[in-house]
Every structure is written in C-alpha cells, then in structure tokens.
Amino acid sequence: MRQKKFLLPESEIPTHYFNIQAIMPNKPLPFLHPGTRQPLKPEDLYPIFCKECADQELNQTDVWIPIPEEVREQYASYRCTPLVRAYELEAALGTPAHIYFKNESVSPAGSHKLNSALAQAYYAKKQGITNITTETGAGQWGGALSYAAKKFGLDCAVYMVKVSYNQKPYRRSIMQTFGAAITPSPSMSTRAGKDILTVNPNDQGSLGCAISEAIELAVTTPNCKYTLGSVLNHVCLHQSIIGLEAEKQMELAGEYPDIVIACFGGGSNFSGIAYPFMRHNILEGKKTRFIAAEPYSCPKLTRGKFEYDFGDESGLTPLLPMYTLGHKFKPATIHAGGLRYHGAGVIMSQLMKDGFMEAVDIEQLDSFKAGVLFAQTEGIIPAPESCHAIAATIGEALKCKETGEAKTILFNLSGHGFVDMSAYDQYFSGEMVNYHVSDETLAEYIKSADALNQ
Ligand SMILES: *Cc1c(COP(=O)(O)O)cnc(C)c1O
C-alpha cells in the first residue's frame, strides 16, 4: 500500500524555534516610534507585551531559540501534526505534481494559532503575569488564546467586535468553553469604549476599537499583558515549528518541495511553513519557490506599497516597515476573516522586497470551489482562509499538468472550517460574490500611509 501520512513521534517535536531574522541578507528596517521617529528598543514594548516576546520580537542575532519544555509538553497533545500526500486531489486534477499538505487543523483550537498562543501564555506565566488580553474579530485567535491561558492558569479577557459577537455565536461559545471572559466591543469597561458608546450607543464595533480596548486594559491593569496572534515577529517565530516538522516529514517521504504555499493574513502560518525551507535558499542556494495566497479583495503583497505604516486602524502601534494598503483600508467582508488585514509582517515584507517569495491573489468564489474539491477528495473541510492556499496549490498543479512536470508542492492547511459552515451555505446558495477593489480606491487608501513617510 502506498504511504499517505508521514508522522513523527512526540519525541521529534522540535526543541528550538527557527529565527529567520538572524540569517536574512537584509534585516528588516527598525520599528519607529511615531512621535520621535527613533528606532524602538525591546524595553519600549515591555508595558504592553511580556518581556520574552518583546525580546524575541527584535532579536536579529540568535538563529535558534529554545522551546521551553512546558510548551513542548502542551504541543504534545496535538503535535507533531500529520504531513499528508494528497493522492486523491492529484488524481482529481489529473496532475503529475506531487501534492503534500501539513495539517494544522488538528489542534484543539482547530488552527495553527495555538502554536503561538501556548508560547505566549507560558512566557507570561513565567514572568508572573496573571491576566492576558486580546481582541478578536472572527474569533480564531481568541479561541486559541483562551485554551492556552487555561493550560497555564491565566485569566483571559477577550474583546470581540460586537457585530461578530452577535453573528458568530459558536466562536464565542468556544472561547467560553475554554474559560475566557468575552466582552463585546465597544464596551463601557474602558475609556476607549466609553468614548464611542457615549456618541453612539448602538455602535457595532471594529477591530481598531477592540484593539484599543485590549491595549488599554493591559496598560492600566497590574500584571496584565496584551497578546497578538499574527503579523509580529515573535508570532512568526513560534510558528516555525510547522516547517521544522514538515522538513523532517518530507525527508521521510523522500522528497523536497519545489514550491511551498500558504494563505496570507498577517503572515504567521506562511512564515511557519516557509522559513525553515527558505533557510536552505538563503544559505545553500536552493531554488524552492514560496507563494503567499492572499484574497483578491485585500491584496497587500500583490498591489500594496512597501513603506512605513501603522499596524492598526487607529494608529496606536509603532510605525512598521511593511507592504501595506494603508492602515485606513477597509477590506471587504469576505468569509476568510483571518485574511482581512491591511499589511504584511515586517519580515515577510523584507523577504518579498528582496525576491525570496512571491504572492498570488485569489477570488473568493475560486477559494470555495477549491475548498469543496479538497473536502471531497481529502476528507477535511478547510477554513475559508486555508481555501486560498488550496486554490493557489491547484493553480500550480494545473500548470504542471500543462508542462508535464512532476513538481513537488507542499501547502499548509492552516485550519478546519467546521465553525464556518454558514460561509459554505452561502457558497452553495449561489449568493456569494467576488469583491473587487479598483486601483483608484487602493491609491486613495495608500495615501494615508504615504503621509507617514514624508
Ligand atoms: C488567522 C488565520 C489565518 C491567517 O493568519 P496568518 O497569520 O496569516 O497565518 C489563516 N488561517 C487560519 C485558519 C486562521 O485562523
């Protein structure tokens, strides 16, 4: 019988995270203080993030960073995750390509996000922190953080955008099941929330406001820190565990990827699957291609601009050097909520600028078409975000069919779609649409970032 799954025992869970910053030919430009324009130091981040994460964020020297034993023990409940050869998808496409996927949907939270949530919760606990907080839009990061906080005995407060709180009751229930306190945002519990509600008591909230509320709670509460589930360097660092395992598993399969693909929101699952392989491109001249799959309606890598911009809509963060659509950009309400972000993390942006990776944009309807084919062939219903990676993979596999090349393609299945079945419902009903964004609209929003670069 041909081998379909390539598994590693728990003892093979990596002992170190891989820090690509240390080997990049051009390091990311510094984060800048928006007022003084001075480069940020780790200490500047201590009031908001726990110390270990702040240090990791700006660490450009250590290639390997040890994974604490307590975190490895938690990883053992779902890692190493399977690497699977998608034989039936290959057959349905009639492609000579060999398609593999790394299945991150098997985590208790249903996505890769738990890989970083566990690390962040552990580092906070070790520092004597008792409470962690965050915001959540679609609810995936909130769900992962709630579980991680429970594992390390921390109280977790999640600000959930009010419209999602009401429209996505199951994600809210998941967070509650894992023991977190969920507050619909805007709320009366913070200055930021009160200011909005006194003007408009029916305000339905925004991610920008939820971020403000969570950061305000963190800086005004003793022993409370803020956490983020994507974009930042320390988050991408934790996700490297995905690619480090995949590297060993591809060896078991007797292959090495010609192409590595992942969907792209802020870039954390892409980093995770890509960087361990990319290090061989950087250090040994290997020629693997790395493709980020982003939504057509939120095209920061394919149509954005590389410049300094705020990481959030309200302009509370430091200035980050990144591919951006402008921090005021309002992505269309596609179902892949995790991909609705205006910028790309600073490491990914520098690597993109330097030609180490490429990007492709995927229409919403094409993403679901690909997701349905994947579900029918491989038996896993993918998250709407992951459907973008699948669509990009199918695109490359069909090119192989034309040329007759048997390329090896590896993609990351970032999560399952069991809590997103209403999106599939909409797809089947024929009501789902594609969203386009014109060059004029993009140019207008990018101006909001240009203004910060003068
Ligand atoms: C959050 C999320 C993403 C997008 O975030 P990245 O940081 O770009 O990886 C992708 N897939 C799933 C399932 C998610 O929950």
pLDDT tens sequence across 285-300: 999 999 999 999 999 9
| pLDDT bucket at 38, cuts 50 / 70 / 90 | very high
The answer to whether residue 310 scores a pLDDT higher than 90 is yes
Residue 446, pLDDT score: 96
Q: What is the mean pLDDT of the chain?
A: 96
The closest of 432, 344, 438 to 384, measured between CA atoms, is: 432
Contact indicator for 247, 276 with CB cutoff of 8 Å: yes
For the segment 272-286, what is each residue's pLDDT rounded down to a tens digit? 999 999 999 999 999
Residue 337, pLDDT score: 86
Residue 205, pLDDT score: 87
The answer to whether residue 454 scores a pLDDT higher than 90 is no
Q: Which of 113-122, 136-145, 264-273 has the lowest average pLDDT?
A: 136-145
CB-CB neighbours of 34 under 10 Å: 14
179 lies in a domain? no
**Looking at residues 418-436, what average pLDDT do you find?**
96
Ligand 1 pocket check for 343: Cβ under 6 Å: no
| pLDDT bucket at 313, cuts 50 / 70 / 90 | confident
Give strand pairing partners of 111: 415
**Looking at residues 397-418, what average pLDDT do you find?**
98
20 lies in a domain? no
| pLDDT bucket at 54, cuts 50 / 70 / 90 | very high
291 lies in a domain? yes
Q: What are phi and psi of 132, to 5 degrees?
A: -125, 155
The answer to whether residue 316 scores a pLDDT higher than 90 is no
Report the C-alpha dihedral over residues 191, 209, 36, 218, rounded to 10 degrees. Answer: 60
191 lies in a domain? no
Contact indicator for 69, 356 with CB cutoff of 8 Å: no
Q: What are phi and psi of 436, to 5 degrees?
A: -110, 150
According to DSSP, the β-strands at 83-85 and 155-161 are unpaired
For the segment 146-195, what is each residue's pLDDT rounded down to a tens digit? 999 999 999 999 999 898 898 888 999 999 999 999 999 999 999 999 99
The answer to whether residue 330 scores a pLDDT higher than 90 is no
**Looking at residues 18-43, what average pLDDT do you find?**
96
Ligand 1 pocket check for 412: Cβ under 6 Å: no
DSSP 27: P
**Looking at residues 204-232, what average pLDDT do you find?**
92
165 lies in a domain? no
Domain count, the chain: 1
| pLDDT bucket at 59, cuts 50 / 70 / 90 | very high
Torsion sign across C-alpha atoms 322, 324, 330, 335: negative
Interatomic CA distance for residues 160 and 372, integer angstroms: 29
User: What are the CA-CA distances from residue 295 to residues 233, 262, 368, 384, 432 (Å)?
Assistant: 22, 12, 12, 10, 15
187 lies in a domain? no
Interatomic CA distance for residues 173 and 264, integer angstroms: 26
The answer to whether residue 410 scores a pLDDT higher than 90 is yes
CB-CB neighbours of 376 under 10 Å: 12
Looking from the CA of residue 383, the nearest atom of ligand 1 is 13
User: What are the CA-CA distances from residue 99 to residues 84, 248, 302 (Å)?
Assistant: 9, 16, 25
Contact indicator for 221, 242 with CB cutoff of 8 Å: no
63 lies in a domain? no
Domain with 321 in it:
69-110+233-453
User: What are the CA-CA distances from residue 11 to residues 4, 243, 245 (Å)?
Assistant: 21, 16, 11
Q: Hey, which of 168, 228, 268 would you mutate to test ligand 1's pocket, going by the most ligand atoms within 8 Å of its Cβ? A: 268
For ligand 1, atom 15, name the residue with the nearest CA. Answer: 140
157 lies in a domain? no
Torsion sign across C-alpha atoms 258, 262, 268, 269: negative
Give the distance (Å) from ligand 1 centre to CA of residue 404. Answer: 32
Residue 138, pLDDT score: 82
- Give the CATH number, domain containing residue 80: 3.40.50.1100
Q: Hey, which of 227, 242, 263 would you mutate to test ligand 1's pocket, going by the most ligand atoms within 8 Å of its Cβ? A: 263
